[in-house]
Homo-oligomer: A and B are copies of this chain.
Amino acid sequence: MNGINKTALEKRIEELISAYCSKYGHLLGFESVKTVCDQAVISGRNGKRLRAMLLITAARFATQRAEQNNFFNALEESKVFDIACALEIFQTAALVHDDIIDNADVRRGQPSAHKALSYLTKKPDETVGTGLGIMLGDILATVSVQAVNAAASGFFLHGSILADFLGMQQMVEFGQVMDISSEITDLSKAKNLTLIAETVYQFKTASYTTIAPLALGFMCAGIEPDTARKIALKAGKPVGVAFQIADDLLDIISTEKDTGKPIGGDIREGKRTSIFADTLNALKEGGSESREDYLWLLDFYADRKRDSEGVKRVADLMHSTGAIERAKNRTEDLLKSAQYEIMSCSGEILTNEGKENICRAFNAFIPEKIFK
């Protein structure tokens, strides 16, 4: 994306994690310390790095305009690079805790961190895995802030960059809380399920996927924090929510080989995705004709064990009610609305070239498959 070297990002992420963990090198006599440090590096690998690339793109093109306006010096690209890497490290931290909460065994095609850490003992021990996993998430979250504090120290807006990075962490954390809550509400009584799902997406996903990358990137370029935050929210929220809906879609219309996760996993886990909410709504509004399917779906999601046959039936209902088609359209609308916000932001902040580059960066968040 925009000529940003993904391999260099991977390398720097690994370097930063290793550097902050290696302070404890003399403690490697503690087998668990070595194991956790190694796992920190392993868990940090193989992301798509879309977030880091968006941050760098935003910083780069906002700086270009600032330079033309003669009110800002050349950007210290290596520091922006580190802040972008810190964002990816925080994502890993969040995923490690997320996988514990969801009891997920697989992540990016590999054993999830707490699963891998449960093998510290000869006989895998879940309690040990969970304990070390909680700590690994904590360690990675701390490392991410350490990296931002170090990198941002030279920037004009040091304090604001740090405050926004922390604010982003908090949004993700509350998003997770909202998610846990939404998954235990009584579906037969719940209203506005689709709206609830999209609010969770704003906090849990858009926050760190698109809103913070834009805000942080702009601030690295010296754009005044309130302005940076305003544009970041207006444009970042829709594309971030679209990204999550697209991810939910992939869980149903994709293959395990593509995603590195078992297909239909969200259904199996009873996730209250916006597609599920829309399906349930459609069945409810279908009246007597779809009543049987509606009641079955309620039961199936109320249950803790969901079998493969049922998962398939849910996927079929998502198609037959038109929920899949509507989700595809919604994704497209949100993406366009995000791009519209960028295109209409002040020429003082971004040149046309800059706007086009950020819009292209947005495209990368939505797999082409969605629109086919």
List residues of A whose CB falls within 8 A of some B CB.
20, 23-24, 27, 30-33, 36, 97, 100-101, 103, 120-121, 125, 127-128, 130-132, 134-135, 137-139, 141-143, 145-146, 149-150, 153, 158-159, 162-163, 166-167, 169-170, 173-174, 176-178, 180-182, 184, 199, 203
B131 to A27, Cβ gap below 8 A?
no
Q: How far is the CA of A178 from the CA of B184 in the complex (A)?
A: 35
Contacts of A153 in B (CB 8 A): 159
Q: How far is the CA of A250 from the CA of B153 in the complex (A)?
A: 44
Q: Interface majority SS on A: helix, strand, loop or mixed?
A: helix
Q: How far is the CA of A220 from the CA of B197 in the complex (A)?
A: 44
Check A177/B32 contact, CB under 8 A, given A163-B146, A166-B142.
yes
24 A–B contacts, CB within 8 A, in A order: A23-B170, A27-B174, A30-B177, A30-B181, A30-B182, A31-B181, A32-B177, A97-B135, A97-B138, A101-B135, A128-B184, A131-B176, A135-B173, A137-B138, A141-B141, A141-B142, A142-B166, A145-B166, A146-B167, A149-B159, A149-B162, A150-B163, A153-B159, A158-B158
Pairs of residues from A and B, 5 with the lowest C-beta to C-beta distance, nearest first: A32-B181, A101-B131, A30-B178, A139-B173, A138-B173
B120 to A32, Cβ gap below 8 A?
no
Contacts of A23 in B (CB 8 A): 170
Contacts of A174 in B (CB 8 A): 24, 27, 33, 36, 135, 139
B120 to A184, Cβ gap below 8 A?
yes
A364 CB to nearest chain B CB (Å):
29
Determine which of B27, B130, B166, B178 lies in contact with A27 in the assembled complex, contact meaning CB atoms within 8 Å.
B178
Contacts of A30 in B (CB 8 A): 177-178, 181-182
B177 to A132, Cβ gap below 8 A?
yes
A135 to B181, Cβ gap below 8 A?
no
